[in-house]
Structure 1
Amino acid sequence: MTRLAAGDYPGMKFIRFSLLLVIATSAASASPAAAPKTVRDGITAWQNADYASAVAIWRPLAERGDADAAFNLGQAYRLGRGVTVDLAQAQKWLEKSARAGHLDAQTTLGLLLFDSGSRDSALVWLKKAAERGDPRAMLVYGTALFNGDGVPRDPLMAYAYVSRSAAQGLEPAKTTLAEMDKVLPVDVRRRAVEIALQKAAEVPAPGSKPAKAAKPARVAAKPAVPPAVKAKPVATPSAAASPNQVATAGKWRIQLGAFSKRESAESLYRKFSGALAGHRPFYVAAGAVTRLQVGPYPSRAAAAAACASLKGQACFPVEAK
């Protein structure tokens, strides 16, 4: 009998090739797959000033319903880091996060709406956050209750909210509480404090106890507390100085917007130059946009008060670099 060499069997070369392919495929599938990106990865990129990468990480997570990612993406649009400043997009993502129960998103969305003049909508979110113990929300909502702006006047609950905010160390709340002390009777204040203590026991201040699940740190600075609705009889929460007080020095400015053309920024400054007398514009290049900032102001409070004087104009304090 003729003995055939291995290479003489029909299809043997194909069999050898197939085996090599199977081996190679198995080896490839056995190698560890790249771990999916997390919100924390985005925060790391943000902290390294790689804002575009942070946004790229958060966007798909936010689209899949991650409340932390949606909050951080909204902050990126609000600040113009990794993306062009777009307050409509900021509102969209903050609202998505807020509806999922994210406390910082509820407060930030409320303050953003408040600052833009949409105060009825703002107070809806600020009330939700105030009931959960956020100090900024309690200050603004409490002052609205005191003044009866957008909500029925309720000095008792106003004092309860503001006193809880002050107890958490928020300086503008301490100032507002002192003004309330001047006009509210002692018995009203005493009952309000009892309510505040009861509420604080029911809903501890954010961060006062471990969360049920670990959550990553937030990435962006929280917006300043906007002034509440009336200057009288209660001082506005952030108005420690007159909004038009002339300052020749200070590290604070107010930012009124970001524009693809510098001429648009210059036009907006001309519109408000009278209201901002004594303060000069700064046209800050940020990639393809120009940010309009006006200052200087001696403190965040003075800058926030200046924003309050610009009715209907989006505005927030920024620290000059």
Structure 2
Amino acid sequence: MLRLILLASFLLGFGILAVPIDARADEPPAAETPLTTEERLARAKAAYEKASASLSISNWEAIFQEFLALAQEGNAEAQQMVGRMYRLGDGVEFDRCEAVFWTDKAARAGNPSAQVALGYQYWYPDTGGSDYDLAYLWLKTAALNGKDDAKEDVRRLVNTKIKSWVQVSALDKKLRTWRPEDQPPIHITRLPNIWGLNVLMVIFGYPPCTYVF
């Protein structure tokens, strides 16, 4: 009788333990946690640095698409990188207007590197005339946001182009209330995509698009 009781207890205990083990085996695998924006950005930046160091051109397009997706979601650092890649032709065909478009978005969103680049666009524009006041405002804003190299750019701009401390004082006063996010976006106009016209524009050195500050 004692043997039967012990055997029944053993089988009952085994059955209780076996059910959850089998149930767990039938459960679907847990879904992977999606990467955060910061993780995706870090991955794209690491891939960019690796490609730059190796001078490889095989994966530039994939890197560009990674940054572009983040830029379209509103990430300012990715917008700055997209503008840079358009300007250098990394992973995408060179396009000065797209470069300015994304750099402008990133600068207005507060990215200091884009603010430096946009300051240079106003200083040395690809199309149209220079605007040294806006060049000063963007470069000085970048300097105030931690871009130490922009401080030297501001000094050179003042010494070579503005040359008026009264004007500099007025610009510094304006900076007290001037905010990047309040600035209007650059307006870009593209020429019609006509093959013969585009070829002539390239031959004579005219840009395929213009932008208005």
TM-score interval (norm. to shorter): 0.5 to 0.7
The whole-number CA distance in structure 2 between the counterparts of 1:163 and 1:90 is: 31
Pick from 179, 188, 195: which aligns with 2:167? 188
Kindly provide the CA deviation profile for residues 188-247 of structure 1, in whole angstroms up to 9, marking residues without a partner as x: 3233323333235978xxxxxxxxxxxxxxxxxxxxxxxxxxxxxxxxxxxxxxxxxxxx
The whole-number CA distance in structure 2 between the counterparts of 1:151 and 1:142 is: 15
The whole-number CA distance in structure 1 between the counterparts of 2:142 and 2:181 is: 15
The whole-number CA distance in structure 2 between the counterparts of 1:74 and 1:151 is: 34
Kindly provide the CA deviation profile for residues 152-178 of structure 1, in whole angstroms up to 9, marking residues without a partner as x: 532221111101111233232111101
Where is the helix percentage greater, Structure 1 or Structure 2? 2
Amino acid at match of 2:148: E
Which residue number corresponds to residue 96 of structure 1? 69
The 3 A distance-change label for structure 1 pair 202 and 99 is closer
> Which consecutive residues of structure 2, in runs of 5 or more, have no partner in the other structure?
1-14, 183-213
Percent identity over paired residues: 19
Which residue number corresponds to residue 87 of structure 1? 60
Which residue number corresponds to residue 150 of structure 2? 173
Which residue number corresponds to residue 74 of structure 1? 44
Give the length in aligned residue pairs: 161
Which residue number corresponds to residue 199 of structure 1? 178
Which residue number corresponds to residue 26 of structure 1? 23
Measured after TM superposition, the shift of residue 150 of structure 1 is 4.1
CA contact (8 A) 1:71 1:94 kept: yes
The whole-number CA distance in structure 1 between the counterparts of 2:20 and 2:142 is: 65
- Aligned runs of 1:137-176 on 2, under 5 Å? 137-150=114-127, 153-176=130-153
Amino acid at match of 1:94: F
Amino acid at match of 2:23: S
Measured after TM superposition, the shift of residue 69 of structure 1 is 4.2
Where is the strand percentage greater, Structure 1 or Structure 2? 1
Measured after TM superposition, the shift of residue 34 of structure 1 is 5.8
- Aligned runs of 1:277-316 on 2, under 5 Å? none
Which residue number corresponds to residue 112 of structure 2? 135
